Amino acid sequence: MKLDQLNNKKIAIWGYGVEGKSAAEYLQRHDIEFSILCSVDEADEKYYCVNEKVTTELLNQFDVIVKSPGISPYQDLIQNSKSQFTSPTALWFANEKHTNVIAITGTKGKSTISSLLTHVIAACGKTVNLVGNIGQALLTSKSDYDFVVFEASSFQIYDGQIHVEIALVNNLFPEHLDWHKGEENYFRDKLKIFDFAKTKIINANNQNLQKYVRNKSCVEFNSKDGFYVVNDELYLKDKAILKSSEIQLIGTHNLENVGAVLTICQLINLDLNQCLEAVKTFQPLAHRLQYLGKIGKHHAINDSISTTPIATMAALGTVDRNRTILLVGGFDRGNDWTEFAESLNESPPKLLLISGANGKAIYNHLQSIDAKFSFTYCKTLAQAIKMANEKSNDDDIILLSPGAPSFDQFKSYIERGDFFQQELKKYEI
């Protein structure tokens, strides 16, 4: 929505987190009046705040609602509203985009790919800004960079009107089913990132992408025509160019992430050898298969960012399962743990400890299928960490890869990951 379309309109910002605050600052900077719909605790004395319960009737008092991404548009009070809805992301693309934008999404891996891509572009001497789901609101970004890298969540994509030079979807697995009201909606909403993209990139190995993206004009990675992985080595066509031992990221799937990044680097004409050297210096992101070193008698890996069972399965693929105690469970988002259970039956960890709001459901499911590996239910993550310490031997691995969001016990995956590290240190000898 163009700014001049907001003239003489009654406007509300709904949601006052990172995105909502960026929208307030943006509208104020352009002398556009607005109200903020937020709780009493969130009220900001700089602006006019409406603290009453949000209803369809309240929304209908405004011509335009700037909705924060975390608020699902599928709820009845929005579906029944007569107001026009937009988003901070859509405002930026309509009014502030004056440079090349590369958008990255995927059910898993998008933060690593976005951060690695930003690191490589900068190492090649270009100016670049990383924004979006990673932390900085897009609406706060200027356009005076050679590139803007936008890590896009499905929430931001839904109503973002995202016009980019390059859009990459790393993979599609069921997630956020509560927000999107089902798997089909989630896949469709995620793939809206391609609606206005000049170049589209997909992972050739992801079945859901192959099923839902039938556009033959897509560029592919994990394909013999480009970058792909064989036996812990990254290939470009028929030539090995990078070994997993040469990078600081853990796991074969991260070599695939490197292939995704290098696919983009080719498209924007960066020197491949320079890009490869930059990849080797990239440090893993916190809470994403982050090796914490040896704490007490055991090794610790913090993968708190893992919010789906498929992400946990990928994490397990990076460790010696015979000496790994795996911690799963958290906020119940309705994910199906059947494939996870089948995978563990075939190749189990030393011990599975289950906690959190969905812990009982996971535990009961494993009992119902007569799972052939050791698993125990703990009410809280603290109890699971305590038991992991008690059950581990010297040089065992304690892996936190919950496969679920953190909101049952923590404000964020960051807080959960920090808690994991601090709790382990209690048992350090």
Task: Say if CB 203 and CB 262 are below 8 A apart.
Answer: no
Tell me which residue of 275, 297, 266, 301 sits closest to 287, measured CA to CA.
Answer: 301
Tell me which residue of 421, 124, 133, 145 sits closest to 281, measured CA to CA.
Answer: 124
Which residues are CB-neighbours of 74 under 8 A, at least 6 positions away? 179, 180, 181, 185
User: pLDDT value at position 215?
Assistant: 67
Task: Say if CB 24 and CB 1 are below 8 A apart.
Answer: no
Distance (Å, rounded) from C-alpha 393 to C-alpha 334?
34
DSSP assignment of 297-333 equals TEEEEE-TT--SHHHHHHHHTTS-GGGEEEEE--S--
Q: Measuring CA to CA, how many Å separate 106 from each of 158, 159, 170, 358?
A: 14, 17, 5, 24
Q: Which residues pair with 383 in a beta bridge?
A: none
Residue by residue, pLDDT tens for the chain (429 residues) are: 899 999 999 999 999 989 999 999 999 999 999 999 998 888 899 999 999 999 999 999 999 999 999 899 999 999 999 999 999 999 999 999 999 999 999 988 898 999 999 999 999 999 999 999 887 899 999 999 999 999 999 889 999 899 999 999 999 887 766 777 778 888 899 999 999 999 999 999 998 898 888 766 899 999 999 999 999 999 998 999 999 999 999 888 899 999 999 999 999 999 999 999 999 999 888 898 898 999 988 999 999 999 889 889 989 988 999 999 999 999 998 788 888 998 898 899 999 999 999 999 999 999 988 888 999 999 999 999 999 999 999 999 999 999 999 999 999 999 999 999 999 999 876
pTM above 0.85, yes or no: no
Burial zone of 394 (CB within 10 Å; 0-12 exposed, 13-18 middle, 19+ buried): exposed
User: pLDDT value at position 216?
Assistant: 66
Question: What number of helices (H) and strands (E) belong to the chain?
Answer: 16, 20
> Could you tell me the two tokens for 172?
């599609």
User: pLDDT value at position 252?
Assistant: 83
Q: Which residues pair with 242 in a beta bridge?
A: 234
Q: Measuring CA to CA, how many Å separate 58 from each of 39, 71, 289?
A: 14, 16, 44
User: pLDDT value at position 428?
Assistant: 79
Cα atoms found within 13 Å of the Cα of residue 29, Cβ hemisphere only: 8
Distance (Å, rounded) from C-alpha 258 to C-alpha 112?
9
DSSP annotation of 286 reads T
User: pLDDT value at position 150?
Assistant: 97
Domains parsed from the chain with CATH numbers: 9-86 (3.40.50.720), 91-280 (3.40.1190.10), 290-426 (3.90.190.20)
User: pLDDT value at position 288?
Assistant: 87
| Phi and psi, residue 182, nearest 5° | 125, 160
Distance (Å, rounded) from C-alpha 144 to C-alpha 396?
49
For the stretch 43-86, pLDDT in tens is 899 999 999 999 999 999 999 999 999 899 999 999 999 999 99
Distance (Å, rounded) from C-alpha 133 to C-alpha 335?
21
DSSP annotation of 109 reads S
For the stretch 81-126, pLDDT in tens is 999 999 999 999 999 999 999 999 998 889 899 999 999 999 999 9
Task: Give 3-state DSSP helix, strand, coil % of the chain, rounded to 5.
Answer: 35, 20, 40
